[in-house]
Structure 1
C-alpha cells in the first residue's frame, strides 16, 4: 500500500511539472508590454512547482529503497523524515537553479533525473524570454494580406 502511494506521488509530481511548463508556454504578456508582473509570477510558480515536483520524485525513490542521492561519503542521513525532506528539497533547488555544489551527489538513476532537472532549469529562462519577444514581435509587425507583397 505504501509503495502504491509513493508511485501515485511520483505520477502526480510528473504531471505537475508538465502542467507548469505548459502554463508557462501558453501564458503570454499583453501586447503593449514586453514583460508583465503576471508573467514573472507565473515563472516563479513554475520554478517552485518544478523544484517541489522533482523533490517529491527524489524522496519517493529514496523511500522505495532506490538510492538516488548520496551525502558526503554515505547515503542520505535519514535519521528523520524532516531531515530527508530538507535534504531532498535543497538538492532539488540547487540542481534546478545551478549545477550543484557537490555536498549532495546523485547516484544511479538519480543522475539522469538530475540531468533532466538541470536542463529544465536552464531552458525555463530561455522559454520565458523567447515567448515574451515572439509575442511582442507578432503584435508590432503590421499584418499583411497573404497574397500581397
Structure 2
C-alpha cells in the first residue's frame, strides 16, 4: 500500500509539472487571473506532494527530517505540519535552517529546490511564447 500511495503522489507532482512545461492549451492574456490561479495550484501541488513524500518516508522509519536539532517526532499532525513546512521553505528557497533534511531527504530537497527555481521561469516563458497578439490572430 505504501508503494501505491508513494507512486500516486509522484504521479501528481509530475502531472502538475507536465501541465506547466507542456500545456495542451494556454491561450490566456499575458496577465490574467487564470494564469495566477494555475501557478498557485501548481505550487500547492508541489508543496503538498513533496511534504507527503517526506512524511511517508518518516512513517516508514527512514528519518529524513531533523526538527530543531532532533529527529522529527510527535503526533501525526505535527509531523505533517513539519513536513509541509520543510517542503514550502525549500520550494520557495527560503531555508531557515530550523528544519533540515538528512540522508535521502537531501536528494529530495535538491530536486524540489530545482523545481522551485524552474517554475517561475517556465511560467514566464510559456506565457510569452503562447501569447498571440490580437492583430496577429485576425490574419
What TM-score, normalized to structure 1? 0.83
Residue 81 of structure 2, aligned match among 80, 83, 86: 86
Structure-2 residue corresponding to 1:98? 93
Deviations 1:51-100 (A, max 9, x none): 01101110000011111111122201x22111101111111111111241
Query: Residue 130 of structure 1: which of 112, 117, 125 is its match?
Result: 125
Determine if contact 1:9/1:56 at 8 Å carries over to the other structure.
no
Report 1:5-44 matches (<5 A): 5-25=1-21, 26=23, 27-30=25-28, 33-44=29-40
Could you tell me the TM-score, scaled by structure 2's length?
0.89
Q: Which structure 2 segments of 5+ residues have no match?
A: none
Residue 35 of structure 1, CA deviation: 2.1
TM-align CA RMSD: 1.7
Q: 3-state DSSP class of the match of 2:66?
A: strand
Offset of residue 142 of structure 1: 6.0
Of the two, which has the highest radius of gyration?
A: 1
Q: How many residues align?
A: 134
Q: Give the conservation status (yes or no) of the 8 Å contact 1:96–1:118.
A: yes
SS at the partner of 2:100?
strand
Q: Secondary structure at the match of 1:79?
A: coil
Structure 1 gap ranges (5+): 144-149
1:70 corresponds to: 66
